[in-house]
Chains A and B, each alone.
Chain A
């Protein structure tokens, strides 16, 4: 777990450096959420189809993907928006993963829509029975959106409760707006109580309580086929995104430091081992970023791919014209001689 957390942190820091160095347009991610997100990735029942868990995550979820076994280099590819980006083909921001093979629904920029789409996979899993559950995760600010309410309403309909683990990672902020100015409720998790949904609040910065909290919640959802609302308190170590500067926030608890303190205290790792592990990942990702930056950018014509699933056409309604301005030539100013004007009285 520690190693995945270190890998995830090194990845986020590399992504931030790439963005600052001009190797990406925008950074957003989840440094500070590694303890919780790694635990989530390790505990998720990975695979495709109803028997496995569906994950409706958000753009702070790279640690979850890595814990599931994702290649960190692919995250660099998405940051660099090269053609080899497997998640979006250079179309979307970093951290916007999509992996059908593992039931990971495409991550979106709107911060709440996943709470609405998760309803559907959970309905299918309710009907199918089995062990597969739907996991949906968002931040505290997004709970102000109606889709969060939709999720609570649909998940708790009497007689048709959904097997959903509804997660709110509460980092106390909505971009620059402090959470305590926005939430009247004591705990966001309390909102589940009104719907008869079992709830818990955990310390997401502590790897052990994050793991145990998730394990308990998942066990309940898997067995009872009912929803669980889990609120995890986490840190936001580099601000909201590159738009808020992505600078390290000293005042926040650092979950990687915390787990390393524990490991050292218990004699499971030395601090030198921790440091060299960190260096290894940093070095690996630095080299990988260099390689990725040499990979080709997507072809302009690839914008027309995947508009429709049945074939690569966009329909007669939209024409495939090159959108590259360099290909555009100013029209000539001479009057075109049309067939009509040549013929004079043609009608």
Chain B
């Protein structure tokens, strides 16, 4: 039973043995460490680059141009920000050259909070990544999807970004359906086969299990849970949080439909539209900062295209628009969505009066929103600050 980081490693092994991957590189990606999260341990084509993110992205582009199949890693997405114009270049190369050159490269990078990574190991890249046309962007929520999405990313003829939720790296599959076909059932057995021993790594060779070529198509969402009352659209680490929220709410007779988007671009609009038209209510959850958030785009589209079927305003539950994620646990919890705030957002959405009823209900119906923990609306903090100035 693989963890997500082992799943990525298994996919990269399949990539370099069956799908033509020529280079897996980045900072500390090669031996002896095999990546700061060990995602690249024991891989034949893994090598260490200089500490230079622009060089890494540039080299990946050049390798792709030279007919190679590179998988480059930015150690933390927090350090991808100084490569934005090269990412833009990778995204526009095919278009600007009128179809002459494509750059089939994979860029993988850990994203998101939840590991007490403070200001520079907690960023999300969703908004920035989806702002760069020409890229395909995927983000898995479990080991099997991480494996399948990585294989699809490797096979894709375009630049593909694989965003890996940091906090899920060490999380095992939740059940047999999240396991990679062909991997050993026993987590300890798999670890013995493919995890480098601590300390003594010289002469160590991994023993790779024969895993299936199972692709998760880019652009296809997965409905994790069927429900009638509200659609929750999320991805990455927030899928697990939303699942738990749905469990909590099922005890209140609230039936949540949960969509794991898996691909941020191209994204599965038909899946969202079908579900939201049916439930009439939508909550979008992610941990990126809320202003100019990718979820906002999805809300805009829901409002524009599904207006008639909406019973209540869609809600965005996202990270607070703050300059960083604080190190102390209460600060981190107050900044990014958690079980409490996600549950609350879904409950708030469900308890909104159905606007299609056509009656004007008293405003106090909205008082239902004030449940559980104190609402830390992103603007409340600002408003308080300005009011008392």
Contacts and interface: CB of A to CB of B under 8 A. Distances in A.
Real binding pair: yes
A113 B65 CA distance: 14
Contacts of B68: 120, 124
Interface of A: prevailing SS:
loop
A306 B94 contact: yes
B265 A123 contact: no
B97 A120 contact: no
B59 A123 contact: yes
Contact of A307 (B134, B269, B311): B134
A49 interface: yes
A121 B52 contact: no
Number of chain B interface residues as a range = 35 or more
Nearest to A49: B67
B96 A118 contact: no
A298 B142 CA distance: 45
Interface in A293-310: 305-310
Contact of B267 (A98, A308, A315): A315
Nearest to B60: A120
Contact of B219 (A98, A124, A151, A316): A316
A120 B63 CA distance: 4
B95 interface: yes
A117 B67 contact: no
B161 to A, nearest CB: 14
Contact of A106 (B49, B101, B133): B101
B323 interface: no
A108 B89 contact: yes
A117 B61 contact: yes
Contacts of A340: 308-309, 356, 358
A196 interface: no
B237 interface: no
B356 A120 contact: no
Given A87-B97, A124-B63, A318-B133, A150 B58 contact: yes
A88 B65 CA distance: 17
A153 B54 CA distance: 12
A119 interface: yes
A119 B157 CA distance: 21
B65 A54 contact: yes
A22 B55 CA distance: 39
B296 interface: no
Contacts of B104: 309
A215 to B, nearest CB: 24
Interface string B311-329: 1000000000000000000
B101 A317 contact: no
B130 interface: yes
Interface stretch (A89-97, A165-173, A259-267, A277-285): A89-97
A106 B311 contact: no
Interface of A: 49-50, 54, 56, 85-89, 91-92, 96, 98-100, 105-106, 108, 110, 113, 115-125, 134, 146-147, 150-151, 153-154, 157, 305-310, 313-318, 338-341, 344-347
Interface of B: 22-23, 49-50, 52, 54-55, 57-68, 70, 85-86, 89, 93-102, 104, 130, 133-134, 136, 156-158, 219, 265-270, 297, 307-309, 311, 354, 356-358
7 contacts: A96-B96, A110-B89, A117-B65, A118-B58, A310-B157, A317-B269, A317-B297
